[in-house]
Chain A
């Protein structure tokens, strides 16, 4: 997406959506709603990235968040022992600390925003930016990054292989009956 007033309108609309749904995370009284309001906020941020011409980053953000937030909602419901997640419950705790730290971090960020010297000379765009950006970010450490990626993949496969191993009471499909106590018999 590029330029023009429709992009500006979309940018501001998604910004408003991000802020409003972020506030709703704390206003709502249900864990599942809170998780999905947070996801709505992230989706809006992803859409903002798309309007800023970073389509890949924006869409990847939206792609990642759906699974994350569903898992988070289910885990919160499990840990809170609130089976449906529909029962009303307070989403905020430690009011005074929360208010103080919120105001404090806002003031700190605002100070940085007002007094920091940001570079105001946009670089001239010469040709496609992806190759120079990659050189700038990775430089000569490309091999290190690639090796780390393969190592991470190996770890993931290993983790799956470990957890798929038979549990203490056998396979999941075999039911969860506890094995009988084995009595040591000396012969």
Chain B
């Protein structure tokens, strides 16, 4: 794929994904609260939010780090896009199905820590700063189980290439072969996208956390990038655990999209149905529950493959 097509393709698919996340978020929030909006309102609401944010004034704080503040949303969006390029929607529809694709995805996701910390730190304001610190604690607690269950999918494939990991699931999807993998992956992916029960870095108890002082187009960019991150995480979940494009009747890309949207719906539904726990309980949960379970997943999958 030539560079221009690749950029358009990534931007287009992620843009569509962000729209789907936005609609699903409103739909499932309404369902959880018991007052569902009409379909037309539901489909138009994302555009209304965009228009509102586009017309807002930018907040200015005292002596911020302007460059880092302006570039943090761009970094987050860029990382979501880089992570997405590692995932082939079908064998022919891959932007960077490199031999170490799963490491590329992991490297992009870990750099999210930099984007969120810089976003919180750079506005020179107390609540955003605490939001940045919270993300460091959150990402370190869920990061190792996240990497472990993701890298475990490479064991039966005997390759770090996402394409080979997908084709290794032709007989049996990883969701059945490694039953611990997908639940841990989805929980920790919610953590990396600081969504739902793991929204601590941008939570309401910090008046918006890392985005407290952000408004207007910068806030639009930040929220878009965050949703794009969730889309990339769901797409990788569908490729690594649900066999990505594998499936009967429909073409491969359709299966990829269906599975990704299904995982997005599960994650967003879970986010609206789960209360946000306290930060120290999240850290404990990550280190004492998720990490041992992820290690069990690694050992069992390794033993089964031998």
Interface residues of B in 51-110 (CB under 8 A from A): 63, 65, 68, 98-100, 103-104, 106-107, 110
Query: Which residue in B98, B99, B114, B280 is a CB contact (below 8 Å) of A66?
Result: B114
Q: CB distance A164 to B118 under 8 Å?
A: no
- Considering the complex, give the chain A residue whose CB is closest to the CB of B133: A74
A172-B100 in contact given A67-B110, A67-B139, A70-B136 (Cβ < 8 Å): no
CA distance A157 to B287 in the complex (A): 10
A74-B114 in contact given A86-B121, A173-B278 (Cβ < 8 Å): no
- Considering the complex, give the chain A residue whose CB is closest to the CB of B115: A66
Say whether chain B's binding surface is mostly helix, strand, loop, or mixed: helix
Compute the total of residue contacts between A and B using a CB distance below 8 Å: 72
- Considering the complex, give the chain A residue whose CB is closest to the CB of B116: A70
Does B111 lie at the interface of the complex (its beta carbon under 8 Å from any beta carbon of A)? yes
**When each residue 24-54 of chain A gets 1 if its CB lies under 8 Å from chain B and 0 otherwise, what string results?**
0000001011001001000000000000000
Does A62 lie at the interface of the complex (its beta carbon under 8 Å from any beta carbon of B)? yes
* Band of interface residues on A: 20 to 34
Does A84 lie at the interface of the complex (its beta carbon under 8 Å from any beta carbon of B)? yes
A32-B121 in contact given A59-B103, A66-B113, A74-B133 (Cβ < 8 Å): yes
| A71 CB contacts on chain B under 8 angstroms | 136, 140
Query: Which residue in A55, A60, A69 is a CB contact (below 8 Å) of B114?
Result: A69
Q: CB distance A70 to B113 under 8 Å?
A: yes
| A30 CB contacts on chain B under 8 angstroms | 65
A173-B280 in contact given A32-B121, A62-B111, A84-B124 (Cβ < 8 Å): yes
| B287 CB contacts on chain A under 8 angstroms | 160, 164
Does A73 lie at the interface of the complex (its beta carbon under 8 Å from any beta carbon of B)? yes
Does A152 lie at the interface of the complex (its beta carbon under 8 Å from any beta carbon of B)? no
CA distance A125 to B100 in the complex (A): 22
| A160 CB contacts on chain B under 8 angstroms | 287-288, 291
Interface residues of A in 113-143 (CB under 8 A from B): none
CB distance from A136 to the nearest CB of B (A): 21
Does B284 lie at the interface of the complex (its beta carbon under 8 Å from any beta carbon of A)? yes
| A33 CB contacts on chain B under 8 angstroms | 65, 68
CA distance A39 to B114 in the complex (A): 9
| B139 CB contacts on chain A under 8 angstroms | 67
Interface residues of B in 126-164 (CB under 8 A from A): 129, 133, 136, 139-140, 143, 160
CA distance A60 to B136 in the complex (A): 19
Does B39 lie at the interface of the complex (its beta carbon under 8 Å from any beta carbon of A)? no
CA distance A55 to B98 in the complex (A): 9
Does B117 lie at the interface of the complex (its beta carbon under 8 Å from any beta carbon of A)? yes
Query: Which residue in A32, A39, A67, A74 is a CB contact (below 8 Å) of B143?
Result: A67
CA distance A84 to B132 in the complex (A): 11
Nearest 6 interchain pairs by C-beta: A63-B107, A59-B103, A66-B110, A172-B280, A62-B107, A66-B111
Which residues of A line the B interface, CB within 8 A? Answer: 30, 32-33, 36, 39, 55-56, 59-60, 62-63, 66-67, 69-71, 73-74, 83-86, 157, 160, 164, 172-173
30 A-B pairs with C-beta separation under 8 A: A30-B65, A36-B68, A55-B98, A55-B99, A55-B103, A56-B103, A59-B103, A59-B104, A60-B107, A62-B107, A62-B111, A63-B103, A63-B107, A63-B110, A66-B111, A66-B114, A67-B110, A67-B113, A70-B114, A70-B136, A71-B136, A74-B136, A83-B129, A84-B121, A84-B124, A86-B63, A86-B65, A86-B121, A157-B292, A173-B280
